[in-house]
């Protein structure tokens, strides 16, 4: 009896005490709340600098500015969670818009033209996903190559010049220029896509497979998950959402520009990483990506209000991306 007590005492004595988490570790566990607080703080500061910042018109303008980024970030989140990413989404957005615009200018019904543009986007995503999942080409190399090819297609279609598209159906224009309950339709579309995407990523069985692949691809394969098939569908989704962004851009501005999506891939990646996604895979939420998009959009809006040259915006976006990646690396060091 005494021997058992002694062993138990020894076992208790050598059992390490739980390590107290640092403030940084606790911060990373409530990433979405932290981002929301940063956004609120930034908005309060900007409202003091510019009294017009918190007006309804300016807030709507800010949210309109992040719609395409927010939509594309939903797909980018899925790609990042799987351990990959998609650098071709900006060019797919451009190609989709100019293809639909060119077909409409040649007399095709705009809804049919938009459908064809979406199908073209789907096919590009399927091709990208097949090469990444089946042929095992690195996502960076594959999507960078597709970026050049698809962007080239957009330039060929338009000969490098934006196309003014007139005569489109009012029902189509309503998507980009209409309002519901005083809020632009585009914002409603983005919110619906984000809510559906967030729900599916939290509850769908297929989403769990994406997280498993991103956490440990070999283990996921050995457990019976069709990794190559899942990856193909991931890049189909990223391309479809990018294609939708291109069509909505056409609806909003009635212009098909071959440069409409240039740089969008970096903004989307920055938004996702700010929102909690990781370049190493296995982490990230759609809601976090939306909050990241809002933060990036708020920073861009701040630059405009402060009369900072538009040429500085890409520099700031790059710095934000570097900061987000650094935060991601520090987070993983802390967990290790």
Question: How does residue 7 score in pLDDT terms, banded at 50, 70 and 90?
Answer: very low
Tens of pLDDT, residue by residue over 136-155, are 999 999 999 999 999 999 99
Residue 320 to residue 325: CA distance in whole angstroms: 9
pLDDT the model gives residue 56? 86
Task: Say if residue 228 is exposed, middle or buried (CB neighbours under 10 Å; 0-12, 13-18, 19+).
Answer: middle
Residue 257 to residue 98: CA distance in whole angstroms: 6
Q: Looking at 23-32, 61-70, 288-297, 319-328, which range is the least confident one? A: 23-32
**Looking at per-residue confidence, does 169 or 314 come out higher?**
169
Tens of pLDDT, residue by residue over 20-71, are 545 544 544 567 788 888 889 888 888 888 777 778 888 898 899 899 999 9
Average pLDDT over the chain reads 87
| Widest CA span in the chain | 93
Distance separating the N- and C-terminal Cα atoms of the chain? 41
Residue 259 to residue 253: CA distance in whole angstroms: 13
Three-state secondary structure of the chain = CHHHHHHHHHHHHHCCCCCCCCHHHHHHHCHHHHHHHHHHHHHHHHHHHCCCCCCHHHHHHHHHHHHHHHHHHHHHHHHHHCCCCCCCHHHHHHHHHHHHHHHHHCCCCHHHHHHHHHHHHHHHHHHHHHHHHCCCCCHHHHHHHHHHHHHHHHHHHHCCCCEECCCCCHHHHHHHHCEECCEEHHHHHHHHHHHHHHHHHHHCHHHHHHHHHHHCHHHHHHCCCCHHHHHHHHHHHHHHHHHHHHHHHHHHHCEECCCCCCCHHHHHHHHHHHCCCCCCCCCCCHHHHHHHHHHHHHHHHHHHHCCCCCHHHHHHHHHHHHHHHHHHHHHHHHHC
Segment 276-299 shows an average pLDDT of: 90
**Cβ pair 263, 147 in contact under 8 A:** no
Give the residues across from 164 on adjacent strands.
Answer: 255
Question: Is the pLDDT reported for residue 82 higher than 90?
Answer: yes
Residue 201 to residue 336: CA distance in whole angstroms: 25
> What ranges do the domains of the chain cover?
64-262+277-283
Segment 120-138 shows an average pLDDT of: 96
Question: How does residue 204 score in pLDDT terms, banded at 50, 70 and 90?
Answer: very high
Residue 264 to residue 245: CA distance in whole angstroms: 10
pTM of the model: 0.86
Alpha-carbon separation of residue 115 from 99, 100, 332, 335 (angstroms): 10, 8, 42, 45
What does the block give as tokens for 156?
Answer: 């060929």
**Cβ pair 88, 48 in contact under 8 A:** no
Residue 220 to residue 227: CA distance in whole angstroms: 7
Residue 277 to residue 200: CA distance in whole angstroms: 16
Residue 151 to residue 240: CA distance in whole angstroms: 16
Question: How does residue 326 score in pLDDT terms, banded at 50, 70 and 90?
Answer: confident
């Amino acid at each position: 009896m005494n021997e058992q007590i002694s062993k138990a005492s020894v076992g208790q004595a050598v059992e390490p005490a739980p390590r107290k988490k640092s403030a940084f570790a606790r911060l990373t566990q409530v990433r979405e709340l932290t981002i929301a607080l940063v956004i609120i703080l930034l908005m309060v500061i900007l409202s003091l600098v510019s009294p017009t910042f918190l007006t309804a018109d300016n807030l709507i303008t800010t949210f309109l500015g992040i719609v395409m980024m927010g939509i594309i970030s939903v797909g980018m989140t899925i790609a990042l969670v799987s351990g990959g990413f998609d650098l071709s989404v900006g060019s797919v957005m451009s190609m989709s818009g100019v293809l639909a615009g060119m077909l409409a200018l040649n007399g095709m019904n705009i809804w049919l033209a938009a459908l064809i543009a979406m199908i073209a986007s789907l096919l590009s995503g399927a091709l990208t996903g097949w090469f990444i999942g089946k042929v095992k080409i690195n996502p960076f190399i594959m999507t960078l190559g597709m970026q050049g090819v698809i962007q080239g297609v957009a330039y060929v279609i338009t000969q490098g010049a934006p196309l003014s598209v007139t005569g489109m159906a009012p029902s189509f224009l309503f998507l980009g220029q209409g309002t519901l309950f005083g809020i632009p339709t585009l914002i409603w579309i983005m919110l619906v896509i984000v809510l559906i995407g967030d729900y599916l990523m939290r509850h769908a069985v297929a989403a769990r497979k994406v997280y498993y692949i991103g956490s440990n691809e070999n283990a996921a394969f050995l457990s019976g998950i069709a990794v190559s098939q899942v990856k193909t569908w991931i890049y189909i989704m990223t391309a479809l959402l990018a294609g939708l962004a291109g069509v909505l851009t056409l609806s909003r501005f009635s212009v098909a520009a071959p440069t409409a999506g240039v740089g969008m891939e970096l903004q989307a990646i920055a938004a996702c990483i700010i929102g909690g996604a990781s370049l190493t895979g296995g982490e990230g939420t759609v809601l976090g990506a939306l909050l990241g998009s809002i933060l990036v959009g708020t920073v861009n809006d701040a630059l405009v209000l402060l009369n900072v040259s538009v040429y500085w915006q890409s520099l700031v976006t790059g710095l934000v991306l570097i900061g987000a990646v650094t935060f991601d690396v520090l987070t993983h060091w802390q967990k290790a």
